[in-house]
């Protein structure tokens, strides 16, 4: 008959625990509740990011000038043209109102004809970055 020493016994218990560690795992489900306003905020952030993206897209600049006028023009534009993104860009010393994210210059030129009726100084740009 074999006698187990404390050292051998502790190694055996440790080995048993390691092999059967899944027996001691916790099976608890976590439920996350999220405020619906958070999803709305994320959607707004996505829109803003999309309107600022400048890689491989064309935009139309409808205004170049002071801060207050650019804010008014942006507000008026967003009210009149709901389907287009628009943003204000500050490039020292002027504020610029850029609209749209057009994949091709032709697409931008078509929309430019519509915008020129209201904003005669508007023109197509392709921002660098």
- 3 in a domain, yes or no? no
- 114 in a domain, yes or no? yes
pTM over 0.75: no
Specify whether the CB–CB gap between 66 and 95 falls below 8 A. yes
Banded pLDDT at 59 (limits 50, 70, 90): very high
Cα separation values, 23 from 16, 19, 75, Å: 11, 9, 62
Any alpha helices (H) in 20-100, and if so which ranges? 36-52, 67-80
- 64 in a domain, yes or no? yes
Q: How far apart are CA 65 and CA 97, in angstroms?
A: 9
- 87 in a domain, yes or no? yes
Q: What angle do CA 87, 90, 93 make, to 5 degrees?
A: 145
Higher pLDDT, 23 or 32: 32
Banded pLDDT at 107 (limits 50, 70, 90): very high
């Amino acid at each position: 008959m074999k006698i187990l020493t404390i050292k051998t016994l502790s190694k055996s218990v440790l080995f048993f625990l390691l092999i059967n560690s899944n027996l001691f795992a916790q099976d608890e489900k976590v439920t996350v509740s999220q405020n619906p306003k958070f999803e709305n905020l994320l959607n707004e952030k996505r829109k803003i990011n999309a309107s600022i993206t400048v890689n491989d897209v064309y935009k139309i600049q409808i205004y170049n000038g002071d801060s207050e006028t650019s804010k008014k023009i942006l507000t008026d534009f967003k009210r009149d043209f709901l389907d287009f993104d628009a943003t204000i860009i500050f490039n020292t010393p002027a504020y610029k109102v850029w609209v749209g994210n057009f994949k091709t210059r032709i697409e931008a030129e078509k929309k430019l004809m519509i915008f020129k009726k209201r904003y005669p100084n508007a023109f197509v740009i392709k921002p660098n970055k």
